[in-house]
Structure 1
Amino acid sequence: MRVPARLLPLPAALAASALLTGCFASTEATGADAGERISVAMMQPPRSGLSPLSDDAFKLSRWSTAETLVKLDADGDAEPALATGWKQSGRSWTFALREGVTFHDGTKLTAEAVVRSLNRAARAAPKPRILDGVELTVKAVDTTTVVVTTAEEDPLVPQRLSSPQLSILSAKAYRGKTVDPVGTGTGPFELTEVNGTSSAALDRYDSYWGGTAKAPGIDVTFVPDGTARAAALRSGEADIVEAVPVSQAALLDEELITEVPMPRTNTLYLNTDKGTFKDPALRAAAREAIDAESLVKGVYEGRADVAEGLLGPALPWAADLREPVRRAKAGDPDGRKITIGTFTDRAELPEVAAALQQQLKKAGFQVKLEVREYANIESDALSGAFDAFILSRATVLDSGDPAAYLYSDFASNGSFNISQLADSAVDKALDKAGATPTGDARRRAVVDAEAAVLATDAAVPMLHERVIQGDAADVVGAAHDPRERELVTLDTHVK
């Protein structure tokens, strides 16, 4: 039995009701396995047609439809998935494939299929960010063995291959220039239908190599509005709701929400290439103007942690290794004009932007805000169109290792370099971190690279977020994953 909905204030309730009526209509119309299929309300709609070579890959992972050779345990160490084992020899890694695996279209998992998927990712433009700075080739030894070779010795190859962007799909997915995940994965749920940016449907795949899923299927609705997502949980429209906004968490029964410190940092990226923040002294002035504690208490209602660095409490070893960073002295803003961009998909970010606008104005800047949906602002952010950009950024999303995030965001040729940073000391530190074997030495090198970035003031970490997920009272086995890779699993079901 569902928990009765708590009442919203009337205007919010009406707005949420209108949104939900439109958002969930297609799911209700199917009438499939009512009360048994899992209804999921997700925050961001697909941006690239659910291509696994984009960030949409993490949706495929969270729905347990696309799988990788390797997965990560809670500590970020690699463990078997579609590959049962591996060994390193210099620049090459040999992977033994799991036998008896079939794709959703009935074809078998073979070395040829793995080679096709990984080589397509390696040759993509742009590359999946887990391959930033990495050149790799993949060859089949026999039907159940592949060898992955990198241009330089890379200790993180297994962790890289755990990224959902390197999912293995059947040959059918690669017809034409795009990659189509419908009916081409290997997971316990088969993606059967995608309705643009509004919804998707998955059915249980009864021939899954890992056993039979407990739920007959998943109905996904994309609901960018945070109030509407929370209302979906209250009303029983959704069984699982991802990314419940902080402002809505207090309106939900505490027993229906789970709060987990996550490796996600709310950061102000400053454009180091042109405009006001090309001057290190003005970047320092912006850093000193920011009162992160007031953001945590005000915008996040205490459901976040003030940032001491780019890496937060989800990686406790970072705090233990971190040392004070020497930074530039602050200059006088003297009325300089700046434009700060952010997006609406995460409900707190516009509020953070408004608060920062006041803090920076008080420090002497003239501040204009530009707020859009993420899909409509990402390209401008990456091209350096703003003086500053507020981003909620996962720091170990891809490999379980923050070196990949640091390289992607702050290396001179990083694919997500919003700060447009090109600093030789940072590049050197990032290269060292990437080349250091896993373990204590690598963690030390990662923290040194973080310090090199912080010394430039190209990014001002403000706070570390906590993931807030809503599960209806009759949902069993939903994943609460700080890396946002899992959500509905083999064991998830509705009582």
Structure 2
Amino acid sequence: MRSSKSTSTSKTLAVACLATALVLTGCSGSSKSSDKATSGTLAVNWGGFPESWAPGAEMEAGYMRVPYENLVALDEKGEITPVLATKWEQTEKALILTLREGVTFHDGTPFDAEAVKVNLESIRDGKTAYAGPLKVIESVDAVDAHTVRINLSEPTPSLLTTLSTRGAPIGSPKAIKGGTIAQTPVGTGPWAYDAGSSTKGTRMAFKYYNGYWGGKDSVGFQTVELYAIPEDNAATGALATGEIALTDTETTQLGRIEGNPSLKHLSYPAIRNNPMFFDRGPGGAFEDADVRRAACYALNTEEIVKLEPDFKSRSQHFAEGEPGHNPDIPGYAHDLDKAKQLMARAGNPEVSVEVLAAPFNEKQLQVYAQQLEKIGIKVSVQSAAPPQYFSQWNGGRYALGLGSNDELTPYDWYKAWFAADAPGNPSKAESAELKAAADAAIAAGASEEADALWQKVTKIISDEALTCAHVAGEELVAWNTKAVTGVKASSQPWETNLVDYKALRPAGK
């Protein structure tokens, strides 16, 4: 679903190269992907490249999971499974990990306890939204080469889940300390970045790493090439002609895809999207809870569903069956009369704010601006390139924001956006009721009472209208069956631009 990507794209270069023939040959000089697949090369398009490859940066999973691995992963049942950590023991005070032996990073640096320490501390101390949930890490001790003790400031039974996500890949400590990892990813995954075979802004090549601990038999392709084709028609054309084997796409392309017997597609839940009222502090535009509630009733997500057919309106962030889902949260069904009544109760204040938009969410924000204007809230939508957007949208300059929330647990969601010290809460405002409820839920740890206590937290977040207008969207992936087989969604939930890379095999093999 390209409209919600967290990536930056070299659009001018990519479109210029593709405009004439909808193929990549003129840009890259490469042969068709069916020929590439025969020689062990998988050509993938996710529409752009990350601005930074540093662990903790805003990286879509489809990029991150080529060179990087996590300490643990989630399987199809949502259970924690080993990756770079083989065993673990968790108490209320610490998480102790036993690390896989015989693993090296692509630059030859050994993977060990010190590497884990460097990664977790650099993510925790960074400025992205992923830092929030890791603030619970008080310190990291390298007990020995293959044992790590993560000391916790409070009970955090969801920490292993956090360590499985795209917010916590493990990169080379040498590259992190040297500052080169932002532009040159260095992980422990099956494929290592090959700068010599890459073309800046158009193609990033990753070749099989001969020192990979999982061995060659664990993957089907020796090389993965990532392309940057931002325009959907061009990407579908390149897929149909075999220049790429796999791409993300939009529902507008389904007619072309389904009309070609060589192309198939799948979709999976990947995007959770909701506005955030950042300016909630004293004197702030959204200090008054009634103003926030009025805004929530004025917003009509059904209009967004019309724009994005794979979006669905939801009452809350967490889906039924997920921790934190509360069946007693009604949400804010569109009700303009109620919105106007709440604004009147708040004294009909003059509210005029700015919001930053990127190409993938500008249409949605323009619709929301029009809806809020009906109750006297004036919203000026400022356009920005993705790099500027991701560095500024939730940093405190803008009173209102719209972004994707991919947190899997209520602890992570609270710590990322609503706690007084959350990176996504620039106003540092938090009600006494919310703090008390969160403190009680945290203190409950993994007890039987914890789920109900976290449901109380998510109910307060909704009641206080700290965020609302929740929608969930699908990621749509298409592939050419003449080039690749075994395409399936990853078991990692709520991650965009992603397939199970290890399951992919060249067609005919």
TM range (shorter): 0.7 to 0.9
Indicate whether 1:61 and 2:64 are aligned: yes
How far apart in 1 are the matches of 2:311 and 2:479? Answer: 20
- Of 484, 491, 494, which aligns to 2:495? 484
Counterpart for residue 335 of structure 2: none
CA contact (8 A) 1:407 1:414 kept: yes
Partner SS for 2:459: helix
Counterpart for residue 202 of structure 1: 206
- Of 281, 288, 296, which aligns to 2:297? 288
Listed as ranges, the matches of 1:79-90 within 5 Å are 79-90=81-92
CA gap 1:228/1:177 in 2 versus in 1, 3 angstroms: same
How far apart in 2 are the matches of 1:230 and 1:419? Answer: 43
How far apart in 1 are the matches of 2:462 and 2:82? Answer: 36
Task: Give the C-alpha shift of residue 462 in structure 1.
Answer: 3.2
Task: Give the C-alpha shift of residue 157 in structure 1.
Answer: 3.3
Counterpart for residue 468 of structure 2: 460
CA contact (8 A) 1:70 1:79 kept: yes
Listed as ranges, the matches of 1:388-403 within 5 Å are 388-396=400-408, 401-403=409-411
Counterpart for residue 472 of structure 1: 480
CA gap 1:390/1:142 in 2 versus in 1, 3 angstroms: closer
Counterpart for residue 275 of structure 2: 268
Task: Give the C-alpha shift of residue 248 in structure 1.
Answer: 3.6
Task: Give the C-alpha shift of residue 240 in structure 1.
Answer: 1.9
Show CA shifts across 1:279-300 (max 9, x none).
322222211112222321x112
Structure 2 gaps, min length 5 = 1-14, 333-337
How far apart in 2 are the matches of 1:79 and 1:395? Answer: 19
How far apart in 2 are the matches of 1:365 and 1:257? Answer: 41
CA gap 1:154/1:37 in 2 versus in 1, 3 angstroms: same
Task: Give the C-alpha shift of residue 153 in structure 1.
Answer: 3.5
Listed as ranges, the matches of 1:205-220 within 5 Å are 205-212=209-216, 213-220=219-226
CA contact (8 A) 2:32 2:243 kept: no
CA contact (8 A) 1:41 1:232 kept: no
CA contact (8 A) 2:410 2:458 kept: no
CA gap 1:126/1:316 in 2 versus in 1, 3 angstroms: closer
Per the normalisation by structure 1, the TM-score is: 0.82
CA contact (8 A) 1:341 1:369 kept: yes
Show CA shifts across 1:380-418 (max 9, x none).
32233334222233232xxxx242023211111111226
Task: Give the C-alpha shift of residue 197 in structure 1.
Answer: 5.0
- Of 262, 265, 268, which aligns to 1:257? 265
Per the normalisation by structure 2, the TM-score is: 0.80
CA contact (8 A) 2:22 2:238 kept: no
- Of 237, 241, 250, which aligns to 1:245? 250
Q: How many residue pairs get matched?
A: 469
Counterpart for residue 10 of structure 1: none
Show CA shifts across 1:417-450 (max 9, x none).
2676432322333344444434764433332221
How far apart in 1 are the matches of 2:57 and 2:504? Answer: 26
How far apart in 2 are the matches of 1:288 and 1:171? Answer: 48
CA contact (8 A) 2:127 2:423 kept: no
Partner SS for 2:290: helix
Counterpart for residue 233 of structure 1: 239
CA contact (8 A) 1:225 1:345 kept: no
How far apart in 2 are the matches of 1:240 and 1:419? Answer: 42
CA gap 1:429/1:150 in 2 versus in 1, 3 angstroms: same
Counterpart for residue 380 of structure 2: 368
CA gap 1:96/1:435 in 2 versus in 1, 3 angstroms: same
- Of 327, 335, 341, which aligns to 2:355? 341
Listed as ranges, the matches of 1:69-148 within 5 Å are 69-124=71-126, 128-129=130-131, 131-148=133-150
Task: Give the C-alpha shift of residue 20 in structure 1.
Answer: 8.3
CA contact (8 A) 2:23 2:237 kept: no
Counterpart for residue 11 of structure 1: none
How far apart in 2 are the matches of 1:107 and 1:61? Answer: 19
CA contact (8 A) 2:324 2:458 kept: no
- Of 22, 33, 44, which aligns to 1:40? 44
Task: Give the C-alpha shift of residue 308 in structure 1.
Answer: 0.9
- Of 118, 128, 152, which aligns to 1:150? 152
CA RMSD of aligned residues (A): 3.5
Partner SS for 1:454: helix
CA contact (8 A) 1:265 1:461 kept: no
Counterpart for residue 5 of structure 2: none
Task: Give the C-alpha shift of residue 493 in structure 1.
Answer: 2.9
CA gap 1:459/1:22 in 2 versus in 1, 3 angstroms: farther
Indicate whether 1:351 and 2:363 are aligned: yes
- Of 169, 172, 179, which aligns to 1:170? 172
CA gap 1:19/1:186 in 2 versus in 1, 3 angstroms: farther
How far apart in 2 are the matches of 1:316 and 1:160? Answer: 14
Indicate whether 1:221 and 2:222 are aligned: no
Counterpart for residue 6 of structure 1: none
How far apart in 2 are the matches of 1:440 and 1:245? Answer: 42
Partner SS for 1:267: strand
Task: Give the C-alpha shift of residue 51 in structure 1.
Answer: 1.0
How far apart in 1 are the matches of 2:328 and 2:21? Answer: 46
Task: Give the C-alpha shift of residue 136 in structure 1.
Answer: 3.2
148-157 or 283-292: bigger deviation: 148-157
CA contact (8 A) 1:58 1:165 kept: no
Show CA shifts across 1:81-105 (max 9, x none).
1111112355123222222323223
Task: Give the C-alpha shift of residue 31 in structure 1.
Answer: 9.1
CA gap 1:289/1:169 in 2 versus in 1, 3 angstroms: closer
Indicate whether 1:409 and 2:417 are aligned: yes
CA contact (8 A) 2:86 2:98 kept: yes
